[in-house]
Amino acid sequence: MRAARMHYASVRKLTEDLAKPLSDADATIQSMPDASPAKWHLAHTSWFFETFILRDHMPGYQPYRAEWPFLFNSYYETEGARMARAARGMLSRPSLADILDYRAVVDAAMDRAIEQLSPELLALVDLGCQHEQQHQELLLTDILHAFSLNPLECAVWPRQDTRHLADPAPVNWLDGHQGLVEIGACTTDSGAFAFDCEGPRHTALLHPHRLADRKVTNAEWVAFMADGGYDDPRLWLSDGWAWRQAQGVVAPLYWAGGANGWTSFTLSGRHPVDPAAPVCHVSFYEADAFATWAGARLPTEAEWEAAATQHDPTGGNLLDGPGDIRPRPVDNGPAFFGNVWEWTGSAYRPYPGFRAADGAIGEYNGKFMSGQCVLRGGSYATPRGHMRASYRNFFYPHHRWQFMGLRLARDGV
């Protein structure tokens, strides 16, 4: 019980620490339909615990505000009507202070409840904590997008070092696993958390291939751009080329060209693009075009996972707290976790034998297994300890406001 209480408290505190620099106006704005206001993230994660733990399993608990579930339900159809996602930025009230009060009430009730919960319900608390950690990263991506649209290009946190911009080390190619491999989470492991979409564990067949020992860097991406990569339809998937033309995409999101070269807007303001850091904020379409240009391809998620199981998922450039949150120069060696999420060539579909859970919790992942692509490995905004080799992130192929990059693969040995 003590460990569950401490984990719950630390997760909840980090969310509020990340939001501390924000004014009420900062926390209210919604920069696009795919993003959510910071205030909504703070409230929705509290609604999750209030609904699925306190309301459902603590007799006598009264919801904080009867009308708030309509505001802060995300996509749970079985929980009834909810506010349209694209309208979340219209919530000037409740205020940020009101939302923080709500969090405090839920936290106090949860602190009392945890002492009374069965192992099955403690597992549900763990799911809520993992869910909130996902929203911590979403909070940062959505803050970055909102601040990028302000002409003042304000920094959320100051930059903490003035490291000399260096060229990246040459890429090396690693022989990938071949033959039959086991991938996916083993959901029968006691105490090992995994989202439902990570299992069941199953066998995959891998053909001879090699993986780059590091992620693609900004320097390599600049070379792709200089070689006309954004202008050559032969490199692009049909849908990707249509998207690139319709959106006028000529560089990664948040990049801007100038007399002194390329710069990128970050959580610490606008800075020169670091050649040795991994490229970030590119869509699946861009990643696939780059891979084609480089004479390579994106790895499958099975290839990626088979390689990543040999590496520490708590290592790498992951989120430890507020501050100078940004990608760091890539490490050869290799580093499979942190810095930027890696697009794979795999569609987000159920593993053999997957079954969604009963009730509202069953809506968490399964119903999104259509039209999306898998990313692996976590980013500099993924909380440390949240990542594992079996973790499957997923977004639509045109999305790029998340912290998305890539690693290359090649067929053969």
Residue 413: pLDDT band by 50, 70, 90 thresholds? confident
Task: Indicate whether 178 and 117 sit together in one domain.
Answer: no
Task: Indicate whether 210 and 314 sit together in one domain.
Answer: yes
Task: Indicate whether 318 and 245 sit together in one domain.
Answer: yes
The per-residue pLDDT for range 180-193, each reduced to its tens digit, is 999 999 765 556 89
Question: For residue 242, what pLDDT is reported?
Answer: 98
CA 71 to chain centre: 23
Question: For residue 77, what pLDDT is reported?
Answer: 87
Higher pLDDT, 67 or 78: 67
Residue 196 forms part of a structural domain: yes
- pTM assigned to the model: 0.95
The per-residue pLDDT for range 124-176, each reduced to its tens digit, is 999 999 999 999 999 999 999 999 999 999 999 998 765 556 677 789 999 99
Question: For residue 365, what pLDDT is reported?
Answer: 76
Task: Indicate whether 140 and 190 sit together in one domain.
Answer: no
Task: Indicate whether 188 and 125 sit together in one domain.
Answer: no
E strands, 184-305, are 202-206, 209-212, 255-256, 263-266, 269-272
Give the domain-ending residue among 114, 148, 182: 148
Residue 291 forms part of a structural domain: yes
Task: Indicate whether 13 and 131 sit together in one domain.
Answer: yes
Task: Indicate whether 201 and 289 sit together in one domain.
Answer: yes
Residue 38's contacts (CB-CB under 8 Å, 6 or more residues apart) are: 19, 22, 26, 27, 139, 142, 143
Residue 180 forms part of a structural domain: yes
Give the domain-ending residue among 131, 148, 165: 148
Task: Indicate whether 106 and 59 sit together in one domain.
Answer: yes
Residue 154 forms part of a structural domain: no
Residue 368: pLDDT band by 50, 70, 90 thresholds? confident
The per-residue pLDDT for range 7-55, each reduced to its tens digit, is 999 999 999 999 999 999 999 999 999 999 999 999 999 999 999 999 9
CA dist 25 and 83 (Å) reads 20
Task: Indicate whether 373 and 266 sit together in one domain.
Answer: yes
Residue 300 forms part of a structural domain: yes
Pairing type for strands 173-175 and 393-395 reads: unpaired
Higher pLDDT, 376 or 163: 376
Residue 331: pLDDT band by 50, 70, 90 thresholds? low
Domain containing residue 14: CATH number: 1.20.120
Residue 339's contacts (CB-CB under 8 Å, 6 or more residues apart) are: 215, 277, 278, 316, 317, 327, 328, 330, 379, 380, 405
Count: domains in the chain: 2
Burial 285-316 (b: 16+ CB within 10 A, else e): bbbbbbbbbbebebbbbbbbbbbbbebebeeb
Residue 138 forms part of a structural domain: yes
Task: Indicate whether 186 and 331 sit together in one domain.
Answer: yes
Domain containing residue 399: CATH number: 3.90.1580.10
Residue-range definition of the domain harbouring residue 22: 2-148
Show the CA angle centred on residue 215, arms to residues 366 and 266, nearest 5°: 85
pLDDT of residue 240 exceeding 70: yes
Task: Indicate whether 287 and 185 sit together in one domain.
Answer: yes
Give the domain-ending residue among 148, 165, 191: 148
CA dist 182 and 193 (Å) reads 18
Question: For residue 184, what pLDDT is reported?
Answer: 95
Question: For residue 169, what pLDDT is reported?
Answer: 79
Question: For residue 168, what pLDDT is reported?
Answer: 76
Residue 153 forms part of a structural domain: no
CA 135 to chain centre: 8
90-94, 100-104, 328-332: least confident range: 328-332
Average pLDDT over residues 83-97: 96
Residue 329: pLDDT band by 50, 70, 90 thresholds? confident
Question: For residue 188, what pLDDT is reported?
Answer: 55
Residue 166 forms part of a structural domain: no
Counting residues of the chain whose pLDDT is more than 70, the rounded percentage is 96
pLDDT of residue 57 exceeding 60: yes
CA dist 1 and 119 (Å) reads 10
Counting residues of the chain whose pLDDT is more than 90, the rounded percentage is 85
Show the CA angle centred on residue 18, arms to residues 14 and 24, nearest 5°: 130
What does pLDDT average to over the chain? 93
Task: Indicate whether 137 and 185 sit together in one domain.
Answer: no
Residue 225: pLDDT band by 50, 70, 90 thresholds? very high
